[in-house]
Structure 1
């Protein structure tokens, strides 16, 4: 997790000695010089309960209140890194595609202006063959950031957010129409699409289909997308009102999702109302220190495990090895163990370093605090120092 601001207390040294103590899980540094200076005004009590200095313990009630604290606490800034994993599963053909860009501004070049950090991710779950998903993966950057005149700003505000949503919505529709015009893509081929953008602390998820995004917030799963299936009330109503029907949970008896790009054999004639649409739904969140990671994956994962189950697997994995790619693989392996019947693709996006407080190579310096010592402790400490000098 992201470490808080560190406060270091300074004192006028009398003896250049420091004594490290650990009490109640907090590593503290006792300024021995200040303690020794204070001994001069302390009269040793005639108590038989003296203990050697090596047995000194620091109590929470002994701590001196912090002074001169820096009140300019920096806002949370996510540290973005990701890992992905795909597997064909029990299917004969692989129809999934995905994209991971952890640093969007660098990827796009110096002319692209956006809040930082910035990132872009997408999962494309094809059906009716791999054509639609593969085509979209090849051209997704053009659809999203070139053809739509993607908004550029260095600040995240309401205007920027609205412009980004409009641009992403336009990108989905442009990509859908491009699939209709592309002669290399079979008209019965389609794909569900879930994309994620991160700009500073803003997390924006757009979804058309049954891929899913799940945010881990303090260990709890928070769904950042709604599966678009014909059996859900809102989608069922829209499908029926647009002239479609649902048979045994399938749209027009053939498709298990109610939103997708492509599938032009169901949408023709072009321009007419269709029960199958490419319009994405949006969900957003303002990331805080409580938001640990985001999982996005195709329905092969969610068919056999809940959002909370997936979050628990990833959280445990990050605490064990701190590798999002390994976590993505572990999710896929768990789905296979649970007998999923589909292709599998997962991306795990971390917003902080889970191991920075426990990994020796990444450990942050301990917070230093000044502590007061009891009169008894000060006297014993002074005796110990005098004995040490005399030897």
Structure 2
């Protein structure tokens, strides 16, 4: 039976405080990118106001998270986590269908949509892509990989064709979205990827498979772009668009006498088929806000470790999002985590090691705080974090490092502030 729970998870106050302490430095960088004005080599006329180009970034990130969890009757459990972050708008959408229903009750579909130039295309595709895939008739009880592969490709192309008429009516020509999707049958895992979001399968504690990002500078992608009359500069199509495959983006799909898959931006997904195994542990679908800051191997190791100390998959997704934020992600961040019956289980030994690590970090924070006070230095949070980052700490989560324990460290820091009282100057406020 399908079950799911949705909700909004608010970031703890002490994490907000960390952002408050760093946002001045970040804001100066972001505001520097807001400059507008005349084109290069030109000067505005007398009394003419310079054009102000809105920044794609905020002065401070939006830290509240959307969380969702659920399961399927055949043993799959899943969770979603997403956060707007530093971006001025939230443009990510998702689709989680743990059971397709009817004769496909043992089939599941999940997808992440990372919109650009607005969220309308991503939202529309999140609502209609699965319907177009199923309408092809290529998905049947026989679970024929070649037929399913064709259905996925055809479903993407039909979605883009239908979207074109909607975009012209609604004025979405500039908008687009990348998609990474997974269709799970009783025997296979099908991956359909279009753009630079990414899917990754972990089996027996190792990365078993991951999709390849579609970037304009990839040789085959670049060849198609140039053949369609475009160019690749600054690693972008015509110096502007950073992905070479997407749904939407119709201003890049106007080359005459060329099929939809031969345009500068292609809506054709790459489809991969992986046979299921009892050793399958978990599958990750995530936007580039995750992959810009962490590798496949690091994320596999981190989630594998977190599953041994945490039973709530939403919390695991939250920890991944926080890790990416602390490692410098400036994008919207969305992740879907799917756990198979062979996923790591809660471990008493791992829980003990985690508790010991938390105790060690708390004692280290106290030592650093006292040392800074003894030297007459202000023990603000950034100073404590800087010293701690250069300290050898055994037992940190693999793939996560010190960044993955920031919340524990920040909590310990504010405990020290409370213990020392208001006599400490500023305290990093």
Partner SS state of residue 240, structure 2: coil
Hey, what's the Cα distance between the residues in 2 that align with 1:358 and 1:327? 15
Task: Give the deviation of 1:322 after TM superposition.
Answer: 2.7
Hey, what's the Cα distance between the residues in 2 that align with 1:184 and 1:308? 41
Q: Deviations over 1:179-229 (max 9, x none)?
A: 210022510000011110000130000011001011111111234311000
TM-score, length basis structure 1: 0.65
Task: Give the deviation of 1:83 after TM superposition.
Answer: 0.4
Matched, 1:149 2:137: yes
Instruction: Tell whether the 8 Å contact from 1:125 to 1:211 is kept in structure 2 after alignment.
Output: yes
Task: Give the deviation of 1:270 after TM superposition.
Answer: 7.0
Q: Deviations over 1:78-125 (max 9, x none)?
A: 7211101000010010000001111223xxxx3xx34x6311001110
Change beyond 3 A, Cα 1:287–1:151: closer
Matched, 1:101 2:85: no
Task: Give the deviation of 1:247 after TM superposition.
Answer: 0.5
Task: Work out which structure has the larger RCO, using CA pairs closer than 8 Å and 6 or more positions apart in sequence.
Answer: 1
Partner SS state of residue 322, structure 1: coil
Partner SS state of residue 207, structure 2: strand
Task: Give the deviation of 1:326 after TM superposition.
Answer: 1.8
Unaligned stretches of 5+ in structure 2?
1-72, 349-429
Alignment equivalent of 2:303, drawn from 310, 314, 329 = 314
Task: Give the deviation of 1:284 after TM superposition.
Answer: 1.6
> Which residue in 2 is equivalent to 1:59?
none
Matched, 1:331 2:320: yes
Change beyond 3 A, Cα 1:325–1:185: farther
> Which residue in 1 is equivalent to 2:148?
164
Alignment equivalent of 1:245, drawn from 231, 256, 263 = 231
Task: Give the deviation of 1:150 after TM superposition.
Answer: 4.0
Partner SS state of residue 316, structure 2: helix
Task: Give the deviation of 1:238 after TM superposition.
Answer: 2.6
Matched, 1:124 2:113: yes
User: For residues 231-310 of structure 1, what are the structure 2 equivalents within 5 Å?
Assistant: 231-268=217-254, 272=258, 273-310=262-299
Change beyond 3 A, Cα 1:248–1:309: same
User: For residues 193-212 of structure 1, what are the structure 2 equivalents within 5 Å?
Assistant: 193-212=179-198
Unaligned stretches of 5+ in structure 1?
1-76, 360-391
Structure 1 moving runs of 4+ over 6 Å: none
Change beyond 3 A, Cα 1:131–1:271: farther
> Which residue in 2 is equivalent to 1:55?
none
Alignment equivalent of 2:86, drawn from 67, 90, 96 = 90
Higher helix proportion (structure 1 or 2): 2
For the aligned residue pairs, the C-alpha RMSD in angstroms reads 2.0
Hey, what's the Cα distance between the residues in 2 that align with 1:221 and 1:357? 21
TM-score, length basis structure 2: 0.60
Hey, what's the Cα distance between the residues in 2 that align with 1:142 and 1:340? 33
Alignment equivalent of 1:347, drawn from 311, 336, 339 = 336
Instruction: Tell whether the 8 Å contact from 2:229 to 2:255 is kept in structure 1 after alignment.
Output: no
